[in-house]
Amino acid sequence: MAIVGIAGVGKITLAQKLYNDQRVKGNFKKHAWICISQQYSQVSSLLVEGNNFFLVLDDLWESDVWTNILRTQLNSAAQVIILTTTRHDTVAKAIGVEHMHRVELMSEEVGWELLLKSMNISDEKEVHNVQDKGMEIVRKCGGLPLAIRTMASVLAVKETTESEWQKILDNDAWSISQLPAELRGALYLSYDQLPQNLKQCFLYYALYPEDRTLRRDDLVRLWIAEGFIEKQNNQLLEDTAEEYFCELISRNLLLPDPRYAEPYTCKMHDLLRQLAQHLSREESISKLRRVSVVTCNDMISLDKHQLKVRTSINFCGKSLVVESSIFKRFPYIRVLDLSGSGVENIPDYIVSLIHLRLLNLNDTSITCLPESIGSLKNLEVLELKKCGAACFLSIHDTSFRTLAINSAKYCDSAKSQFGGTGSYMLFNSSK
């Protein structure tokens, strides 16, 4: 089966309804949702010979992915039902789908209904007052549900009057031409209308691979370390950051996991992620401030430059060999995420990273921290979950807001050392 349609038309929404349908859950022992930009090892790990299997291949661009990679892995399953989402019917035909459903653009009338529903407008007088301007806005959205929902979020913070909606129609953001056609108009306007502090938080998602699920608590710590969160009266920065997170969700710029009543995790629609990437992209590598290492080649290319990088996040896993020189190449680093990497030791040179605020060593082979780490006065977050780091004697004089470790033994040791510092601590003893 294939769901075909242009970006933002609602293919994923329809696929999710099928994937989460209780009849599908009951008839198939194994289920998997794979974004084609990701690795395909997930299929092998879920397959058990003889099991029936329901698989969603999201955002399929080329038939080769199925022909050369996934088809052989699925041969051992007794029954396989595959649902693909793609922008191109030629791809669906090339992989031999039996049923193809095309998702069409919304009509103006249906788009207007979606706009009103997304804004919870039901008062007939209000509807009448803004209907003409609202229909113009819907037409500018080109029949795309994603664009209509994001525009609904923009309008929701405005007065429901003809004059206010006319201001939105007159906004110069509609006519910006520096972006690809699919990112102009409503999607860019939804970004343009954000307060500056929320713009930074939105753009931060550009660092992450497509379809990556992010935990709210992780984003909160990262945003604080980056300096994105402004102090508000006596409110904790963590609480303010959570408000930012919820605001991005309410504006339809982040998608919460529907399995939870509260938004603990989120994703970003691939079109909005593309927008974030375009807006945050710099012309020269020497101007790079934030880097995500998705393949080892990314790190090799960085080796050739002395950079003013403030953020580096690893997505390579254990295949990323982290040499001591990395700490010398990034003297301005604020956020260094080496979680899941092949790093084995932290050199004493880390004391020179005077701007470092967050160091993530989760799921690494680190067994000991250098004494010099105690001299990092700006270090606020140190994460050591699922690793063997046991040396806390040297870090009693830091300004940590959060210390996350996974061993009850080390938690007790750390509590005894940090108990009187007055810093905000998170002692996490879960695996």
Segment-wise mean pLDDT, segments of 10 residues, the chain, 431 residues: 85 86 84 66 53 79 68 64 84 83 92 95 91 96 94 94 95 89 92 93 89 91 92 91 95 85 87 91 50 50 55 62 70 86 83 90 84 85 76 51 53 46 37 36
Residues 238 and 309 reside in one and the same domain: no
Q: Scanning the structure block, which residue is given the tokens 């910006």? A: 176
From CA 246, how far away is CA 254, in angstroms rounded?
9
Instruction: Kindly give the pairing relationship between strand 358-360 and strand 335-337.
Output: parallel
From CA 97, how far away is CA 88, in angstroms rounded?
13
Answer with the one of 102, 137, 157 that is the final residue of a domain. Answer: 102
- Check residue 101 and report its DSSP letter: E
Residues 366 and 403 reside in one and the same domain: yes
Residues 57 and 136 reside in one and the same domain: no
Backbone angles phi, psi at 2, to 5 degrees: -140, 140
Residues 253 and 308 reside in one and the same domain: no
Residues 295 and 249 reside in one and the same domain: no
398: helix, strand or coil: coil
Residues 293 and 411 reside in one and the same domain: yes
From CA 266, how far away is CA 244, in angstroms rounded?
13
Residues 133 and 16 reside in one and the same domain: no
Residues 311 and 388 reside in one and the same domain: yes
Does any domain span residue 409? yes
DSSP code per residue over 71-94: HHHGGGSSEEEEEEEES-HHHHHH
Does any domain span residue 424? no
Give yes or no for a contact between 16 and 113, defined as CB atoms under 8 angstroms apart: no
Give yes or no for a contact between 414 and 427, defined as CB atoms under 8 angstroms apart: yes
Domain residues for 270? 214-276
pLDDT of residue 315: 58
Does any domain span residue 246? yes
From CA 346, how far away is CA 367, in angstroms rounded?
10
Query: Which distant-in-sequence residues (6+ apart) come within 8 Å of 333 by Cβ?
Result: 309, 310, 311, 312, 353, 355, 356
Answer with the one of 192, 225, 246 that is the final residue of a domain. Answer: 192
Alpha-carbon dihedral of residues 84, 87, 90, 91, nearest 10 degrees?
Answer: -40
From CA 377, how far away is CA 375, in angstroms rounded?
6
| 44's tokens | 């092998």
pLDDT of residue 347: 84
From CA 428, how far away is CA 431, in angstroms rounded?
8
Give the CA distances from residue 347 to residues 47, 161, 197, in Å, rounded to whole numbers and listed in that order.
Answer: 42, 61, 35
Residues 309 and 398 reside in one and the same domain: yes
Q: Whole-prediction pTM value?
A: 0.77
| Distance from the Cα of residue 303 to its chain's centroid | 26
Count of the separate structural domains present in the chain: 4
What's the length of the chain? 431
Residues 126 and 170 reside in one and the same domain: yes
> Which residues are registered as beta bridge partners of 101?
3
pLDDT of residue 430: 37
